[in-house]
Chains A and B, each alone.
Chain A
């Protein structure tokens, strides 16, 4: 399943659920830690749970409808859009956010991003890197077309040429 297809599948899944499910999840696994959730309805998008309830504001909001990719996180290693993923669907799965991608910015993707001076405003870049990290885990030698398809996130500043180069550089690093 391509990343985009995953997104759509999750979107369909969440769309089919009622908006107000108030059974309350007690814990969530984020970045290797079990964190307590207080009074968070299951139907809350993971994005807002991370940002507003857990204080992990590295994950960004850009559209809320799975169009921009700013909110991308990993769930059991797969990139998903946290803005359309209900926290109740996470269950025991492991969520990794930018805060957990590496301890100090040393993930090959982060390093490549720094080397290529990718960020302009930087707002979309967390989502871009989370998408790239998942893409490269699945395919450490992506073609130009695969990068174009895989790196679908929006960057309003227009950093795509740098992202393209950084993904290639990170791929090289990860193959080593």
Chain B
């Protein structure tokens, strides 16, 4: 997610708060549960995404679980505290959805603190803006908090060293930390961290700039693997995901939501539903108003003593819906409109030279249109949350606790607070493990549903979305069309490049009327075009959203990199050149793209830390070509072929080579996938490998099968039978991941591995059978050959 999207959400949140204030005439008498008692915010530095909680005294564990606070511990920073037995408590404020973040961030802290990893306890933070950005998406966790974790660890270490110096009456400069002990140079004195807690507690917290961070050569954990924190719980079935979250006396709810987004309940009859054993209550949810944001969709909820009873009750409801204006939406026709839009002039987002007239006067122009349909996140665990809202005698909310599989507990606070008429900070949000998320679980509409039901029923309510609910009521990845056009010289080299995209903007989820791709969306694979072409014209066209549009892993890179890297392949073929050589030429000289001139926001990252470095992009391309023996591909028989693609995505760089085997009857095997990735400094190499492997498999799902269609405003697909995803049998047989060793600043990983996958796959298919597929997914095409 981009920074501009963050701003957008922020603005819309403020708007909701105003609406909520207006609709909430009664002033809530909220007895604030002051979980942060004891936190000195005096020297708290909150700089946007980077939190640095200093001098927090006992607050560290209060940010995880208030009942477990130990006054005896030493807590120099929000992210770390040490108990008198030496246990190091690391607070993780990002959500675990499969990236390994509950291991990686504490490992950074632990490395700097010089701990014995066996003596580290991991705690999951509640939602609290003191912790900085908690929105676990945008492949940001390591990038945003690598330094924060190092500072937290170094702060504690420095103070322990000082405490030992006081104890031994020696100069602190002669004390150093090693493996959970402070040692003294020149003598064999050593003391365990735990024994220094009392003394360390009384010391002043050093300022970050006074700290001496460990040199890279002394890193013990950063760049080294460790099993993930939750391994044992996951493997024994004890791990608690959102669907497993329980509060005492909770009811289970399943909800019938309007089949068309923005629709409402005209009338309903719950007589049958109430005859289902276990059904306790049937409740109509408030209607949907204005832009979707993270509000509830409305509909009718059945609350029961088990998920199944609620589900059966839901299915037994008789509801008459008012479909609303989105009922006219048909995605097949809309796809045609988008194609027409990208074939007409649009609004220029980046323009260099004079592409239009060069193309007009060129002898040879090549053009192609590409498209990707709506996609659904379909995380393995559907969205689930349990909420406990307490009210006083007149129904005013007195406390609100949400326990959820959420990528962003602060967004839960921001959505639930206004819905309950309480300040956001008064919503206590605890985070479970997430059965994957891919962006869906950044959008807490399901938490609002649980809170609304709990308030009405005066007991905790757990909301489970069924898979059908998940696929039919998603915040969908936008349907898109991309037009690419280039004039080429006699050698086939592009002299001008015109590219136009159109798709509903994610902005439409936050502001009605938003109907053009935003610059931060265009920058994911479109306006950040890495090619060196003298004349460039990169435009966007209008597209209205008729569904909730959201961000899905890799976001606009999905469609834009697909087009850009497919088109490069088409140009190489037209020029009769080797694709790798052609691409390297197209990327041009080693250089750093002038971000300002190209009007690129670079995800808010500094051009010093995260330059747009063409040399690095070419490097991954060369490496992946080398690893895959690209030069030998000519010896493959017909039906087999290799394709190549690259991209910069979420500040990381990837190159993919894919080898396919297409049988005469059109059956496709993805035999081998090679990926080289450069995401700068790596904390957990194995988790980078696993995420890039996973990206190849998600890329397979998207390219082969991914398609949500809408008829009369209703999603046609409903479960994994008609929204197919890759299984082992149709996934790549072998995946080889090559992680570039780098000391550059950490960049994204989770989403980075998606962008160049689909184009490399389609380029491989073209190489194998000579058929070019420009409209995903592949399931709609005939791959047979003779």
Contacts and interface: CB of A to CB of B under 8 A. Distances in A.
Interface of A: 19, 22, 39, 41, 44-45, 48, 51-53, 56-65, 67-68, 70, 97-99, 102, 104-105, 110, 113-114, 117, 119-126, 129, 147-149, 151-164
B307 A48 contact: yes
Nearest to B241: A123
Given A156-B698, A159-B690, A159-B694, A122 B98 contact: yes
Interface stretch (B23-31, B61-69, B231-239, B335-343): B231-239
A120 B691 CA distance: 8
Contacts of A156: 378-380, 436, 438, 698, 725
Interface in B364-388: 378-382
B731 A122 contact: no
B728 A157 contact: no
A23 to B, nearest CB: 12
Which of B306, B437, B438 has the most CB atoms of chain A within a 10 A radius of its CB? B306
Contacts of B327: none
Contacts of B725: 154, 156
Interface in B219-239: 225, 227-228, 230-232, 234-239
B252 interface: yes
B235 A163 contact: no
A41 B277 contact: yes
A160 B731 contact: yes
A119 B380 contact: no
8 contacts: A63-B719, A65-B467, A98-B236, A119-B98, A121-B434, A123-B241, A123-B433, A154-B720
Contacts, number: 174
Nearest to A47: B308
Contact of A60 (B227, B243, B277, B696): B243
A64 B466 contact: yes
B381 A60 contact: yes
A57 B244 contact: yes
A52 B235 contact: no
A151 B728 CA distance: 7
Given A45-B308, A110-B236, A117 B686 contact: yes
A64 B465 CA distance: 12
B227 A59 contact: no
A53 B719 contact: no
A157 B100 CA distance: 12
Nearest to B381: A123
B435 A67 contact: no
B719 A121 contact: no
Q: Which 4 A-B pairs have the closest CB atoms?
A: A58-B237, A158-B697, A123-B435, A121-B98
The A contact surface, by secondary structure, is loop
B545 interface: no
B354 interface: no
A70 B466 contact: no
B721 interface: yes
Contacts of A158: 693-698, 726, 731
A161 B691 CA distance: 12
Contacts of A57: 237, 240, 243-244
A64 B438 CA distance: 21
B312 interface: yes
A119 B728 contact: no
Given A67-B720, A123-B380, A162-B693, A152 B729 contact: yes
Interface in B661-710: 686, 690-691, 693-698
A148 B231 contact: no
Nearest to B304: A52
A156 B98 CA distance: 10
Which of A65, A102, A113, A124 has the most CB atoms of chain B within a 10 A radius of its CB? A65
B236 A155 contact: no
Nearest to A122: B234
B729 A149 contact: yes
Interface residues of B, number: 64
Given A117-B686, A160-B731, A105 B278 contact: no
Contacts of A164: 728
A154 B232 CA distance: 21
Contacts of B235: 105, 110, 113-114, 119, 125, 129
Nearest to A115: B227
A64 B236 CA distance: 22
Contacts of B277: 22, 39, 41
Given A148-B729, A161-B735, A60 B693 contact: no
Contacts of B308: 44-45, 48, 52
B381 A126 contact: no
Nearest to A145: B729
Contacts of A162: 690, 693
Given A48-B306, A119-B231, A158-B731, A126 B237 contact: yes
A110 B237 CA distance: 11
A86 B265 CA distance: 33
A67 B380 contact: no
A152 B238 CA distance: 23
B690 to A, nearest CB: 6
Contacts of B240: 57
B97 interface: yes
A114 B312 CA distance: 38
Interface string B237-265: 11111011000000010000000000000
A114 B227 contact: yes
Contact of A154 (B97, B305, B727): B727
B99 interface: yes
Interface string B491-506: 0000000000000000
Nearest to B728: A160
Which of A44, A70, A147 has the most CB atoms of chain B within a 10 A radius of its CB? A44
A57 B698 CA distance: 27
B734 interface: yes
Nearest to A144: B733
Nearest to B471: A63
A51 B464 CA distance: 13
B690 A147 contact: no
Which of A105, A124, A161 has the most CB atoms of chain B within a 10 A radius of its CB? A161
Which of B433, B727, B735 has the most CB atoms of chain A within a 10 A radius of its CB? B727
Contacts of B449: none
A2 to B, nearest CB: 13
B188 to A, nearest CB: 38
A76 to B, nearest CB: 20
A129 B235 CA distance: 8
Interface in B73-111: 96-100
Contacts of B312: 19
A51 B694 CA distance: 28
Contacts of A19: 312
Nearest to B278: A39
A157 B211 CA distance: 39
B433 A122 contact: yes
A163 B735 CA distance: 13
A40 B363 CA distance: 76
Nearest to A130: B237
A65 B234 CA distance: 23
Contacts of A39: 277-278
Contacts of B434: 121, 123
Which of B234, B277, B696, B720 has the most CB atoms of chain A within a 10 A radius of its CB? B234
B234 A70 contact: no
B58 to A, nearest CB: 32
Contact of A120 (B305, B436, B696, B734): B436
B734 to A, nearest CB: 7
Contacts of A151: 728
Given A64-B719, A121-B98, 12 more contacts: A52-B306, A57-B240, A60-B435, A63-B720, A65-B721, A105-B236, A114-B235, A121-B97, A148-B729, A154-B725, A158-B697, A158-B726
A164 B734 CA distance: 10
Nearest to B673: A161
Given A122-B98, A147-B728, A157-B436, A68 B690 contact: no
Contacts of A149: 729
Which of A19, A60, A156 has the most CB atoms of chain B within a 10 A radius of its CB? A156
